Structure 1
Amino acid sequence: MAMRLLSPSTPPPHFPSPGTKPPASAAAALPSSSSSYFSLRLRRARAAAAAGAAAAGGPERDGGRFEGETMGGAFDRGLAEIAKKVPLFEPATDGELAAAAGERPLPINLELWLYRVKVHTRKFEFPEAEKLLDKCISFWPEDGRPYVALGKLYSKQSRYDKARAVYERGCQATQGENPYIWQCWAVLESKGGNIRRARELFDAATVADAKHIAAWHGWAILEIKQGNVKKARNLLGKALKYCGGNEYIYQTLALLEAKAERFEQARTLFQQATQSNPKSCASWLAWAQVEMRAGNNTMARKLFEKAVQASPKNRFSWHVWALFEANEGNIDRARKLLKIGHAVNPRDPVILQSLALLEYNYSSANVARVLFRKASQIDPRHQPVWIAWGWMEWKEGNARTARALYQRALSVNSTNECAARCLQAWGVLEQRAGNYTAARRLLRSSLSINSQSEVTWMTWAALEEEQGDPVRAEEIRNLYFQQRIEVVDDASWVMGFLDIIDPALDSVKKLLNLDQPSGPVKQDTVKSTTESNLPTTRSSADESSESSATGGTSGFSSNDADNSSSEAAETPGSDFDLDGFIKKRLGLDPSELDAVLEGSDPRGVVSQRRNRRLPRKPLPLLPVP
């Protein structure tokens, strides 16, 4: 049928469309560019069809007549006439022709360009992404998505002034009716410390759309960070009023109740959160850690199982569960959970870091070095890996190597929270080496970044006492307590849980040590095993009592290492089949976890599940009429 619809070798005359023929003056007034463009495509299509027909022997019969004329029936003759007039379809890509002609491309091009922006951003191709977003804004200035994407792109490059300008331009272009732009702008100001401006922008977002749940929740988080818990509760209540039930709102309210040790109310709110979204791994994890704080470890373990079932590839579920098991003394199970987490998240350096610390305490420093090296190759800009590695080398007596690793961590960023921990750990190293002047200078630098660090203040006080100046040590302690009194309502515990939503492992280490005192006496806790808090907390004022790298820990401790190494991998009292679960849901063989860990290439690691994925079934062929 397709061959019979080709035009003859001689192009047929142009048939005018039905209706009155426009006058010559009107035809001359038509845009020359569009008419010449379509006539050119028509001539090319007819020429190509004629050449094809001639090459195939030609469908001409009866003295050059089109074959459709010999067919019986008015239907076939009508198709032949249509084939003479309709050119072949030649699609233009990405709306480039429309853009070149000054016309707005089809809306589908906006979706395609925004998707390409995501791809470029993942590949760190920021200039290409910026060009596409500028193109989107020029053709669709009323759409808020390009402004949001461009603002976030500038924020990733620390070009905050340009991000503010983009958000302001977007609010003007959308006449202030897009809550997403207001909310992103508010988050940017909140991160920059401009709290008053952030409140105004969050307020504008809720005015633009009272049902914008992210604005209410972000505003409540801001108030919790500022210690205004009453204001945060009011905002969360308005969110429930205008937006209905939401997992994040319920979760935040539950954490506020847990902070006040009203665990029954917290459980009720967690149940509502998990009912709103049973696949929310953050809600299950937060609930599990609240049960840990309440001392209900059996319930906490079941909730961790729910978390991994809700999101099997979530790195935080495997990581936090492993830390919980290590805190309970189940070292083999913790090691296994960390290996599973690495198998499903081979690009995550934090899991390898915790595994390295676990192996250092229960295996050998050489095994830990291999894991630290892999983690640093996966993400060279992840500061906690360098800090934890430096702490281990210092414990092994390699002070020179430790200094080099600390310096490498500071070369990544010297002004953030990780830099404060690194400076504190480095100060303790210099204190033990007898370089007291350098130690004081490093501790002061750490406090200039984070003045709320109790460990750093107490370490400095212990240094002064060691130098025979108890009056100065008491002054330092008083300064710390005065700063703590100025905080109206320290919400670090609440925000530790909430940060799991926008996950930061910095908070996880706090969560696993909630039920222990925060003073300098007990510093070797489970939080020492996550990220960089291990070197900072163990290097406290009471560090003189430590005789080895693993002494005194309550999580990855070596008090009974021989007994813990012989424990069974499966925890008694749990009916959760971990091996069967990872086989069915993740395609992992439990017996090959060690091989996956040893054989993973940090520079080109590929998920094992991707290699084991079954081939797709071919689509059934439709019958040809």
Structure 2
Amino acid sequence: MGVPSEEVGGASEIRDGGNVVEDPAAKALPIDAGLSKFAKKMPIFEPGRVASSSGEKPLVVNMDLALYKAKGLARNFQFEEAENILRKCIAYWPEDGRPYVALGKILSKQSKAKEARAVYEKGCQATQGENPYIWQCWAVLENKVGNIRRARELFDAATVADKKHIAAWHGWAVLELKVGNIKKARNLLGKGLKYSGGNEYVYQTLAMLEAKANRYEQARYLFRQATKCNSKSCASWLAWAQLEARQENNRAARRLFENAVQASPKNRFAWHVWGVFEANLGNVDQGRKLLKIGHRLNPRDPVLLQSLALLEFKYSTANLARVLFRRASELDPRHQPVWIAWGVLEQRVGNLSAARRLFRSSLNVNSQSYVTWMTWASLEEDQGNSVRAEEIRDLYFQQRTEVVDDASWVTGVLDIIDPAIDSMKRLLNIDQSAYYKAKDSSRSAPGASGGGIEEDEVGTSATSDTGDDTDSGSGFDLDAFIRERLSVDTKKLDIQFGSSQTLVPKKIKSPRRIWRSGTKTAATSSKS
């Protein structure tokens, strides 16, 4: 239920975890291309402007340029240089909240929660508690580290400082949703709309709540309001498309997917979710085409290759799927679903030793993965090794207790919101209807243009269409769109793999935790 980086009410906002964080620097001074070039050439603090003989403050433009420079340094992971610049800004302009916000975010990115907290506290004191941006960023920090009560207090302080600060209302509502306080979340979202007017993030979150409660007409109305607020919001189009998909309104869903890719042509989630949608309906060629377009636009993304591999495994050859899995694992060795799905492939084709090595690779990424342990145990049981299967299950519960507060546990949570995980679950036969469960499409980023859709096109008039027809009836020409907008020829989407020989994973050592005292026997017996 996260939110992307987009424009809200004229103020730039960024996404931090599941919350919207407004960026006051962008609100105070929009920087065009000309100023960008000027900033790179101009010293941040000119000696002649820093102070005069009369003790004047540096000109404000120095801080604007310094903030811009620090943002660029942070983007390139030059955190120390960025921090030095921001601390100078705080020294010269202690009453301005922007450098506190920027410095706190940089420290948070480096997991320096204590230092970031101190910066936010100092900023609130310096601004006499009247800057809602600092309160909100501090609340996001406390929420991230698990201090829920403190986060509530800080979100409340942000709304007191400025009741029109929509990001605070939304961030607070998301916090309440995560802890199960749905009624409280609805109330907060309602206040956000009351004080701030229409806002796409609030409408989208409310729409998803209505959809979860099976109030589909209300959800459609709210999604329509979200897209009216911002027709370029890929996240809203995608979330709405998945609502129609769950209702088997396939033609309506396709129109909304078309709007999503027009809103954000290079968005990996849009191409991925649309491709999996078509493949699950049996439109294999169309699904393959959409996934390949997504891969061409996002060549470093492993999830698109993973889903394409699953598609090829089911409808083409295991060897082609194996090559795609290998490529995905090289792009991101920490992406656990790739290792699990690849292991299942090898199990299905009878390469049991390779499957076991891949399951170990998965556990190297996250030893807490229930799916990996149980799938491995299932493999052993299918081979008649019931004792070994029971040892693996016991090993899972033993190591889970030993490292219950390990940070890698978070990876298991990410599996839930990864759109690709549903494809893997279908392959593993864990949940045959998993694709149409709620996904975190809100991570999508904004795009360059938006597509319109009439109110009566999607809603009560949407009819069920379960056939394999891939035409939405909107007149949208996919080939022309990506050729003209993205300079991509759909006839040249084949991925070059190099060698066509059968690939098997290299032998990988078992996770260190498996070899803890009392578990060595079980791990040894599981060797291939």
Q: Partners in 1 of 2:493 and 2:316 — Cα distance?
A: 17
Q: Partners in 2 of 1:240 and 1:127 — Cα distance?
A: 40
Alignment correspondent of 1:602: none
Q: Partners in 1 of 2:42 and 2:138 — Cα distance?
A: 37
Query: Quick check: 1:509–1:528 contact (8 Å CA) kept in 2?
Result: no
Aligned residue among 44, 55, 60 for 1:94:
44
AA matched with 1:151: G
Alignment correspondent of 1:253: 206
Confirm or deny that 1:523 pairs with 2:431: yes
Confirm or deny that 1:508 pairs with 2:423: no
1:244-263 per-position Cα deviation (integer Å, ceiling 9, x unaligned): 01111111111111122111
Counting matched residue pairs gives 416
AA matched with 2:240: W
Aligned residue among 211, 215, 227 for 1:274:
227
Aligned residue among 185, 190, 198 for 1:237:
190
Q: Partners in 2 of 1:321 and 1:108 — Cα distance?
A: 46
Task: State the SS of the aligned residue for 1:594.
Answer: coil
Alignment correspondent of 1:149: 102
Could you say if the C-alpha distance between residues 241 and 115 of structure 1 is closer, same or farther in structure 2, counting changes exceeding 3 Å?
same
Q: Partners in 1 of 2:284 and 2:229 — Cα distance?
A: 35
Pairing 1:116-155 to 2, within 5 Å after superposition:
116-155=69-108
Query: Quick check: 1:427–1:443 contact (8 Å CA) kept in 2?
Result: no
Alignment correspondent of 1:319: 272
Query: Quick check: 2:415–2:421 contact (8 Å CA) kept in 1?
Result: no
Query: Which of the pair has the greater relative contact order for Cα pairs under 8 Å at 6+ separation?
Result: 2
Aligned CA-pair RMSD: 3.6
Could you say if the C-alpha distance between residues 170 and 598 of structure 1 is closer, same or farther in structure 2, counting changes exceeding 3 Å?
farther
Task: State the SS of the aligned residue for 2:494.
Answer: helix
Shift of 1:282: 0.9
Alignment correspondent of 2:166: 213
1:98-137 per-position Cα deviation (integer Å, ceiling 9, x unaligned): 5598975433333333333333333333333333333332
Could you say if the C-alpha distance between residues 244 and 324 of structure 1 is closer, same or farther in structure 2, counting changes exceeding 3 Å?
same
- The range that moved more, 117-126 or 307-316, is 117-126
Could you say if the C-alpha distance between residues 364 and 119 of structure 1 is closer, same or farther in structure 2, counting changes exceeding 3 Å?
farther
Alignment correspondent of 1:583: 483
Query: Quick check: 2:203–2:223 contact (8 Å CA) kept in 1?
Result: yes
Task: State the SS of the aligned residue for 2:290.
Answer: helix
Could you say if the C-alpha distance between residues 104 and 592 of structure 1 is closer, same or farther in structure 2, counting changes exceeding 3 Å?
farther
Confirm or deny that 1:351 pairs with 2:326: no
AA matched with 1:156: K
Shift of 1:290: 1.0
1:128-150 per-position Cα deviation (integer Å, ceiling 9, x unaligned): 33333333323332232322222
Query: Quick check: 2:104–2:119 contact (8 Å CA) kept in 1?
Result: yes
Alignment correspondent of 2:410: none
Query: Quick check: 1:423–1:446 contact (8 Å CA) kept in 2?
Result: no
Could you say if the C-alpha distance between residues 92 and 293 of structure 1 is closer, same or farther in structure 2, counting changes exceeding 3 Å?
closer
Shift of 1:409: 4.1
Q: Partners in 1 of 2:497 and 2:424 — Cα distance?
A: 31
Alignment correspondent of 1:438: 392
Q: Partners in 2 of 1:448 and 1:292 — Cα distance?
A: 42
Confirm or deny that 1:368 pairs with 2:321: yes
Shift of 1:420: 4.6
Confirm or deny that 1:187 pairs with 2:87: no
Alignment correspondent of 2:6: none
AA matched with 2:417: D
Q: Partners in 1 of 2:415 and 2:198 — Cα distance?
A: 25
Confirm or deny that 1:293 pairs with 2:243: no
Could you say if the C-alpha distance between residues 305 and 237 of structure 1 is closer, same or farther in structure 2, counting changes exceeding 3 Å?
same
Shift of 1:353: 1.6
Q: Partners in 2 of 1:228 and 1:316 — Cα distance?
A: 28
Could you say if the C-alpha distance between residues 506 and 113 of structure 1 is closer, same or farther in structure 2, counting changes exceeding 3 Å?
same
1:153-197 per-position Cα deviation (integer Å, ceiling 9, x unaligned): 222222222222222222222222221221122122222222211
Pairing 1:558-597 to 2, within 5 Å after superposition:
571=471, 575-594=475-494
Q: Partners in 1 of 2:261 and 2:483 — Cα distance?
A: 14
Shift of 1:421: 4.0
Q: Partners in 2 of 1:235 and 1:221 — Cα distance?
A: 9
Alignment correspondent of 1:4: none
| TM-score, normalised relative to structure 1 | 0.60
Q: Partners in 2 of 1:414 and 1:332 — Cα distance?
A: 36
Task: State the SS of the aligned residue for 1:347.
Answer: coil
Confirm or deny that 1:330 pairs with 2:283: yes
Shift of 1:371: 2.1
Could you say if the C-alpha distance between residues 125 and 390 of structure 1 is closer, same or farther in structure 2, counting changes exceeding 3 Å?
farther
Q: Partners in 2 of 1:287 and 1:161 — Cα distance?
A: 40
Query: Quick check: 2:310–2:423 contact (8 Å CA) kept in 1?
Result: no
- The range that moved more, 421-430 or 258-267, is 421-430
Could you say if the C-alpha distance between residues 235 and 386 of structure 1 is closer, same or farther in structure 2, counting changes exceeding 3 Å?
same
Alignment correspondent of 1:45: none
Pairing 1:588-607 to 2, within 5 Å after superposition:
588-594=488-494, 598=497
Could you say if the C-alpha distance between residues 420 and 314 of structure 1 is closer, same or farther in structure 2, counting changes exceeding 3 Å?
same
| TM-score, normalised relative to structure 2 | 0.70
Query: Quick check: 2:295–2:305 contact (8 Å CA) kept in 1?
Result: yes
Q: Partners in 1 of 2:109 and 2:363 — Cα distance?
A: 20
1:512-552 per-position Cα deviation (integer Å, ceiling 9, x unaligned): 999x9xxx986245549999xxxxxxxxxxxxxxxxxxxxx
Could you say if the C-alpha distance between residues 263 and 336 of structure 1 is closer, same or farther in structure 2, counting changes exceeding 3 Å?
same
Could you say if the C-alpha distance between residues 315 and 446 of structure 1 is closer, same or farther in structure 2, counting changes exceeding 3 Å?
farther
Shift of 1:590: 1.0
1:350-377 per-position Cα deviation (integer Å, ceiling 9, x unaligned): 1122112222222223222322233233
Could you say if the C-alpha distance between residues 158 and 364 of structure 1 is closer, same or farther in structure 2, counting changes exceeding 3 Å?
farther
Q: Partners in 1 of 2:158 and 2:179 — Cα distance?
A: 20
Could you say if the C-alpha distance between residues 422 and 173 of structure 1 is closer, same or farther in structure 2, counting changes exceeding 3 Å?
farther
Shift of 1:344: 1.5
Query: Quick check: 1:406–1:426 contact (8 Å CA) kept in 2?
Result: yes
Q: Partners in 1 of 2:424 and 2:333 — Cα distance?
A: 28
Task: State the SS of the aligned residue for 1:158.
Answer: coil
1:286-333 per-position Cα deviation (integer Å, ceiling 9, x unaligned): 111111222212211111111111111111111111111111111111
Query: Quick check: 2:254–2:472 contact (8 Å CA) kept in 1?
Result: no
Q: Partners in 2 of 1:591 and 1:530 — Cα distance?
A: 33
1:464-508 per-position Cα deviation (integer Å, ceiling 9, x unaligned): xxxxxxxxxxxxxxxxxxxxxxxxxxxxxxxxxxx9xxx998253
AA matched with 1:169: K
Query: Quick check: 1:428–1:439 contact (8 Å CA) kept in 2?
Result: no
Query: Quick check: 2:300–2:331 contact (8 Å CA) kept in 1?
Result: yes
Q: Partners in 1 of 2:228 and 2:424 — Cα distance?
A: 28
Shift of 1:408: 4.0
Could you say if the C-alpha distance between residues 139 and 261 of structure 1 is closer, same or farther in structure 2, counting changes exceeding 3 Å?
same
Larger radius of gyration: 1
Q: Which runs of 5 or more structure 2 residues have no equivalent in the other structure?
A: 1-40, 406-412, 440-466, 499-528
Alignment correspondent of 1:496: none
